[in-house]
Amino acid sequence: MSTPPSALTSPAVTVGSALHSSSAINAAISAIRTELAAKQQLITEARPAQAEHKATLASWLARATEVRGRGPLYPYLGSGIGNGALVELIDGSVKWDLINGIGVHMFGHGDLDIVEASLRASLGDLVMQGNLQFNAEAIEFAEFLALEAARSSRLKHCFITNSGCMANEAALKVCQQKTNAAPRIIAFSDCFMGRSTTMSQIGDTSAYRQGIALNIHVDYLPFYDADMGQRSIDMGLWHLEQLIHRYPGQHCCLIAELVQGEGGFNTAPREFFVGLFEAAKKAGIPIWDDEVQTFGRTETMFCFERLDLGQYIDVVTIGKISQACACLYTQEFNPRAGLLSGTFAASTSAFATGLCALRRLQNDGYYGSSGKIAKLFEAFKQHADAFIAKHPEWFPPVVNSLGRASRTFVGGSGGMMRLTPFGGNKEKIGRLLNNLFEDGVIAFSAGHGPYHLRFLPAVGVMKPEQFTSVFAIMEKSFARTT
């Protein structure tokens, strides 16, 4: 029963609050949840495409190729329903989605709470909220991030924007303004920052900047190499000290992905970063932590907290699983008026679903050394180690860019998982990814030589035991990859 019109005359009730608490709307949302849950029970395992729907998928992909000018990476087009880590495509196939749009769908496909949050957000008067007009959701979202970050750092303020790349653009501007337009940037080899003109130049992938003007001065540090241990730590610090000596006062920031994403899910111990950050701080170089892919996926919500690095961080950027993206900074780095703004911040549904996901992650046992995320990574590692032991022929030594051979085939952290077959050969891994997709597992690649299989499973809903089904499919796909 809906709210009677007479109730809206009360000074304590706005029309908006009456709408959003309507019993009729609550009943309708409850009915949608019930119907969705019933349909999801039909999606319980991977299955091949249905012959009668293959032409439909082919037609859509042809249209996508025509309008874009280039075909999609995978013949993927969702039907509009999934069940956790499983997704149905328009050709009737069901696949284990272990990439989730490069980590966007933390709670997988069709999560009932996420769907409800989106439905309720659709009742708002704003489809897109911006930096001029916004509702309470934008403030609540920013407050959540700022309070969570402040628990273990000096970060205080939050600027919301509509993509991880734009969050990184905002961070660069904040650092440049703080250092009076210092022209140089320090980043790590194999880093990825986004695909704007500036971020493409900072990211260490030559293919992403072919044909664009190069007007950004970037100095690269070697990232941590576990096989080298302490020597790698010493090398990184030596390189940084050389840069500081060569270009005194010329660097606006040191950018660090605490777990490299595109670069290959490379990790480093705390002591690797401490020495670098302390040397940079001594030279007056701000520290920018890029967590656009890392955020929420390790054993703490912010990766800097897991490594106890909060005291060093001046600026941090986040995105992907949060749905809306943001740049956070300390009081000292709060920029002057006019530097940060934008027509769009995020959609109302992005704020609502993002907050829904973040609150669940915060409160439902996902973090810590024995949390759900840590347990999921451990399950992946156990299955991967057993897989390697069973099929050593698929895992020859991996030779890195310096010519050193390694027998480390499993890597990553938390919900960022890596497997390195075929010696990291790009062409073979490309064929394997296509076979995996056909057989029912969606994965992706990472790294720049060696190359790796990259997995970003829906850690909010995927269960450790589901890796049994995933690795059974992987065995079939590996066997037919030559």
pLDDT tens digits, 126-179: 999 998 999 999 999 999 999 999 999 999 999 999 999 999 999 999 999 999
Query: How many whole angstroms separate alpha carbon 242 and alpha carbon 201?
Result: 22
Q: What is the pLDDT of residue 401?
A: 72
Q: What is the pLDDT of residue 402?
A: 74
Q: What is the pLDDT of residue 1?
A: 44
Q: What is the pLDDT of residue 5?
A: 47
Q: Which residues of the chain have pLDDT under 50?
A: 1-9
- b vs e for 309-321, b when ≥16 Cβ sit within 10 Å of the residue's Cβ? bbebbbbbbbbbb
Contacts of 314 (CB under 8 A, 6+ apart): 154, 175, 178, 286, 287, 288, 329, 330, 332, 333
Q: N- to C-terminal Cα distance for the chain? A: 63
The full set of domains in the chain, from first to last, is: 128-363 (3.40.640.10), 372-479 (3.90.1150.10)
Q: What is the pLDDT of residue 12?
A: 65
- CA distances in angstroms from 337 to 83, 281, 334, listed in the order given: 45, 26, 9
Q: What is the pLDDT of residue 363?
A: 96
pLDDT tens digits, 430-469: 999 999 999 999 999 999 889 999 999 999 999 999 999 9
Residue with tokens 């010696």: 423
Q: What is the pLDDT of residue 449?
A: 87
Q: What is the pLDDT of residue 10?
A: 55
What length is written for the chain?
Answer: 482
